[in-house]
Amino acid sequence: MDIGYRQVPTAWKQSRDKRWLGGLAVVFFGIFAILWGYQAVVAIVEGRYVYGLFYFPAAVAVTAVIMNTPDMIRSRMRSVPSANAVHCNKDGVAFSRSRWARWTLMTYLVAACWGCLAFSIGMFTHAYEFPMTAGQGRFFPYVIGAMGAYLIVYLCCVFTGQIRSSRVICTPFEVIVRSTTETQSVEWDRIDKLEPFSMSGGPRHSMISMVTVDGSKPQSDRHYRGPFASALKSPPTITVKADQFAVGAVPLYWFLRYYLEHPEDRPELADGRAVDRLLSGALVL
């Protein structure tokens, strides 16, 4: 039995066709991963261990970026839902990013922070000598050091729960969407329609916008309290980056649409039957 969801929203054709951009990013970052990995090995062999403190984490950081890209593309193109990517608990049916995506993100943050600080400190203390002009030698240590400081703050926000991994929870009464900085929720009955679209620029994510009946804003709970938190504004609608979720962008879209248009079946969201319906491929209208 074919349990896949072959009916892809037309608006996602662009993001799916542009998946070659992900391959281009892999090649681009792969060059730096090979270069810095090679330099790390050479530095260790030659006894220049202090240089390894920069080259090794730099290579690890760009490798983490490379390893995360295929996971996102796989989620974007997936038509058969992953059973390990959806869970039912007392709160409802929950969709999360893959463990692989979360692991590569943390690896990138730690390695990039380490590499930035090592470069900046090494340049300021004259422990490092790189082929660059005098102006570059004065400029880059400050810029890279600022990036390292930013990553330290970001990691602190992650460890304190102010920045969180994306998550979608569907209960019989509402949809809860958690982004990195806030959690938004809206009752099913207030959702007028789902609008799939492709985000322009960058990775061109496959997105889902939840448009409310009366145009009112969803409820919002901001859990980020760090720097510039007061400057952040909650979006007027709930927007989901569907290809971030391991279950697959297309299965997630049909799951949300089915329970939006079938209120009589929403009790299934509380007892696990919704998961069975998803995995059996019985959601396409």
Q: Which of 130, 159, 188 is the last residue of a domain?
A: 159
The band of 115, judged by pLDDT with boundaries at 50, 70 and 90, is: very high
Residues 144 and 25 in one domain: yes
**Residue 90 within any structural domain of the chain:** no
Residues 152 and 188 in one domain: no
What is the average pLDDT across 160-165?
90
The band of 1, judged by pLDDT with boundaries at 50, 70 and 90, is: very low
What is the average pLDDT across 138-161?
93
Whole-structure pTM value = 0.85
The answer to whether residues 105 and 60 touch, using CB atoms and an 8 Å cutoff, is: no
The residue range of the domain holding 229 is 167-279
Distance CA 212, CA 63 (A): 41
Residues 137 and 203 in one domain: no
Residues 6+ apart with CB under 8 A from 58: 32, 36, 40, 111, 112, 115, 119
Residues 116 and 174 in one domain: no
Q: Chain-wide mean pLDDT for the chain?
A: 88
Q: Tell me: pLDDT of 247 over 80.
A: yes
In DSSP terms, which residues pair with 177 in a beta bridge? 168, 184
Residues 150 and 16 in one domain: yes
pLDDT given for residue 4 in this prediction: 54
pLDDT given for residue 201 in this prediction: 54
Q: Tell me: pLDDT of 199 over 80.
A: no
Residues 186 and 150 in one domain: no
**Residue 2 within any structural domain of the chain:** no
The answer to whether residues 220 and 212 touch, using CB atoms and an 8 Å cutoff, is: no
SS3 state of residue 146:
helix
Residues 115 and 196 in one domain: no
